[in-house]
Each structure stands twice: as C-alpha cells, then as structure tokens.
Amino acid sequence: MGCFFSRRRKPAQGGQPQLQQQAGAGQDAATGEQKAPQYSWDLRAKVDPKDYTFSGLKNETVGRLPGKVAGQQFVIQDCENCKIYIFDHSATITIDDCVNCQIFLGPIKGSVFFRDCKDCKCVVACQQFRTRDCRKLEVFLCCATQPIVESSTGMKFGCFQYYYPELALQFKDAGLSIFNNTWSNIHDFTPGENNWGLLPETAVVQDYVPLPSSEELKAVRVSTDATKSIIPITRGRRQKNSDESCLTVFFAGDYTTANARKLIDEMTSKGFQLVQTKEVLMKAEDAHRVFQQSALEFIPLLEKGPVVALEFNGDGAVEQCQSTINEVFSGTKVFVSESKTSASQDVDNFYNFADMQMGM
C-alpha cells in the first residue's frame, strides 16, 4: 500500500521552523502556564488515506471527480465486480487483488502497479506500467516508458483512447506528453512464454470499460469516440500495411500540438495510418544524425523546446505528407522526408535516437 505525503514547507530563515503566531500561543491567559508552540504545518488539513482508497468493494460503481485526487497517491484493493473511475491525475496507483473490475485511471505521474488481479478491463495513462501475478487483463494504455509484465498471463493491450474536457490539463499536471505512448512495446519478464498480445484493431473502449452510469460520475462529459481522443491513436507494433513510411517533425512553438493534430487528421482522413508519435528534446548533434544534410536549417529551432515527430504509413505517404505540409502549413518550418527511399532511414534515425534519449 502506498504512503501519503503532503508538501513540506521550508523552514524560516536561519534554519529554524517558523511558529504560527496566533492569539493565545505562548502563554495561557487564564492559568499563566506556558503552552506548547504550534507550527504552521500542524494547522494544515491532514490527508486522510480513506479519501484516496477503494477497498473491499463488491458490485459497486465508484469514482473520483476531476480535482478530487489532485496528484495524491491512490490505492485500489480487494474489489470485485466493480466499476471504478479516477477522473483526475495522481502520483502513483496500486491495484491489488481485484477481480472482474472495469477501471479507468486518469493520468498518473509515476507508476501504476497491478498485482494479483484477474479478469479486469482497464483504461490507463501513466509514466510507468507494471503487472505482477495477474491473469487476463485487457488494457487500453498510454505509457511513456516500456510497459512491463511479470509472472502474468493472458494480457492484452490496445492504444488509449478517451476524452473529457479536463483530461488535457491533467496530462500536463502529471508531466505526461500525449505524444509519448509506447503502449505496444511490452517487456515480458517471464521467460519462455508469450504472455501478452494486442487487442483487435476494431476493439472499442466502451465495450470494455463502459461510460459511468451513476448520476455523480455522469457529470464528467466522457467520450470514447476515437476521433476525439486526447491521445493520438497509433498502430504501434502492429504490422504495417505498406513498405512506405514518412517522418514529419514539428518544432516547438505556440501551435505545435495543434499543428501535429491537424496533420494527423488530414493524413488519416485520406487513409494513411499513424504508426507512432514522439515528443523529445533534441541537440545539435542529434539533428545532424537525424536530419542529415538538412540539419543546419533546423538546429536554431531546437532551443525553443521539444520536437514532435509523427510516422505515417501507406503507399504515397511521402508525397501526400509533402503536399499537405505545403498547402496547410506553408508558414511553418517542418521537417518532412524527401523521398520514399530516404524516409525509412529518417524514421529509423529519429526513433533510434528518441528511444536512446528516453532510456528505452
């Protein structure tokens, strides 16, 4: 079970704790006796672990509305046949000994750890994802690092797809990028067996984790329409339909996210598939490695912040990407592969660099 911490205040100048100056502090007016000093942190509202725990529930629908978790740690344990919705960002979440539950977990700044769970269906966004001693979990996942399964069987994964109005800001509060999602790049610690696979491409989130039915939770305006998803839907490690891919890289600016989303909409509406996305900082030496002879043109843009890279796949992807960039983003400096021949090398160069940068 996780521990619960509130933010520690700095001591006053000189290294001594600052006393809360209140009427009556110091000496009792009636008795003249010296009262124990009160520190400022003694007067703050205490975090009650019960507010951040679902335990021992059966056949219930429960949840937390946006703003009710606000970055605290959360524990879910010993629940059966429950629908659980955490519509907020949190620090870490542990899920222990849950059976036949349907769970939505909003953005998690650190790790989510499933232990001894079985027959659960989940939608999860996190920095780190891990399971141990689990059976038959089906997870629509957004994970910034490589997901880990250990001593688990019957695991199935799909790409996170979800929307409600507060979700984008919650991703920022949790320090997660909507473009960093390695949902299908699973590391299986259990030797000798393939204990995981991918959900069908046609899988619909609502068939696995239905929209909340309670009046309180229905106030959260949820959509599971893939076209509205906060996270771009990627093919991940599924087999590509074509041997032609195209790399497009947007540089940091006020409209980087909006521009990347616009290009995704334009390309997917024409039948091209988004394979993977990444948001990462680049240095000059990285630009030389990735952009080759075009590097000098883009190096000055790297100081503004991280780049957003998109890989599209399909016959004619390079030509269509170039055409769309010229028509829709004519005033924006964007890297796009020059030819089908160079594009596959562009993709390999960028994502090899990005995986090294992110420690994968």
- Asked if residue 175 and residue 64 are part of one domain, the reply reads yes
pLDDT tens-digit profile of 233-278? 999 999 999 999 999 999 999 899 999 999 999 999 999 999 999 9
- Asked if residue 197 and residue 144 are part of one domain, the reply reads yes
Q: pTM for this one?
A: 0.85
Q: Which residues are annotated as a binding site?
A: 110-111, 127-130
The residues, any chain, with a CB within 8 Å of residue 190's CB and separated by 6 or more, are: 149, 150, 151, 152
Tell me: pLDDT of 183 over 70.
yes
Q: Specify the DSSP element, H or E, that contains 276.
A: strand 273-280
- Asked if residue 244 and residue 221 are part of one domain, the reply reads no
- How many residues make up the chain in this entry? 360
- Asked if residue 202 and residue 68 are part of one domain, the reply reads yes
| Structural domain count, the chain | 2
pLDDT tens-digit profile of 94-124? 999 999 999 999 999 999 999 999 999 999 9
Which of 182, 204, 226 is the last residue before a domain boundary? 226
CB-CB neighbours of 253 under 10 Å: 14
Which of 226, 256, 280 is the last residue before a domain boundary? 226
Q: Specify the DSSP element, H or E, that contains 104.
A: strand 102-115
- Asked if residue 283 and residue 156 are part of one domain, the reply reads no
Residue 89 maps to which CATH number? 2.160.20.70
Cα distance between residue 311 and residue 297, in whole Å: 21
Q: Does residue 153 belong to any structural domain of this protein?
A: yes
Q: Does residue 81 belong to any structural domain of this protein?
A: yes
Rounded-to-10 torsion of CA 166, 168, 172, 177: 160
Average per-residue pLDDT for the chain = 89
- Asked if residue 216 and residue 250 are part of one domain, the reply reads no
Q: Does residue 233 belong to any structural domain of this protein?
A: no
- Asked if residue 83 and residue 108 are part of one domain, the reply reads yes
pLDDT tens-digit profile of 22-48? 444 555 555 566 666 666 555 555 677
- Asked if residue 305 and residue 188 are part of one domain, the reply reads no
- Asked if residue 347 and residue 267 are part of one domain, the reply reads yes
pLDDT of residue 232: 97
Q: Which residues are annotated as a binding site for GTP?
A: 110-111, 127-130
- Asked if residue 151 and residue 252 are part of one domain, the reply reads no
Positive or negative, the CA dihedral 25, 29, 32, 33 is: negative
Which of 226, 250, 277 is the last residue before a domain boundary? 226
- Asked if residue 212 and residue 249 are part of one domain, the reply reads no
43 neighbors 20 (Cβ within 8 angstroms): yes
Q: Does residue 84 belong to any structural domain of this protein?
A: yes
Q: Does residue 124 belong to any structural domain of this protein?
A: yes
- Asked if residue 194 and residue 251 are part of one domain, the reply reads no
pLDDT tens-digit profile of 203-244? 999 999 999 989 999 999 999 998 899 999 999 999 999 999
Please give the residue range of the domain that contains residue 135: 49-226
